[in-house]
Amino acid sequence: MKIEEDNSMEPVYIKKNILGTFYYKDKQMQIAHRTDGPAKEWFTGVKAYYLNGDWIRDKETYKKTLLHLETIDNI
C-alpha cells in the first residue's frame, strides 16, 4: 500500500498488484476514489472512474461531475 495526496490534498491509498493499480479514499481500501484520473486501471488497459465510491460511466461525465463538485465547494 502506498499513500499519496491528490489535488484536493486528501490522502489517497494506492494498491498495485498483477491486476493493475487501484486508488482508494479510505485506509481500508473499500471506497474507490480519484480526482485526477481513473481510480481503477487494469493491466489490460481498461480504466474506470470513481468518485467517493460511485462509478462514473465515462470520462466526460467524470469531468462534468468534478466541475460540479468544485463549483459547490466554492459556494
pTM listed for this prediction: 0.74
Residue 44 Rama label (left phi>0; alpha psi -120 to 50; beta)? alpha
Range of the domain at 26: 2-73
| pLDDT tens, residue by residue, 24-61 | 999 999 999 998 889 999 999 999 999 999 998 777 88
**Alpha-carbon gap, residue 8 to 13, rounded angstroms:** 14
Give the count of beta carbons closer than 10 Å to the beta carbon of residue 6.
15
Given a cut of 90, is residue 2 above it in pLDDT?
A: no
State how many domains the chain has.
1
DSSP-based three-state secondary structure for 43: coil
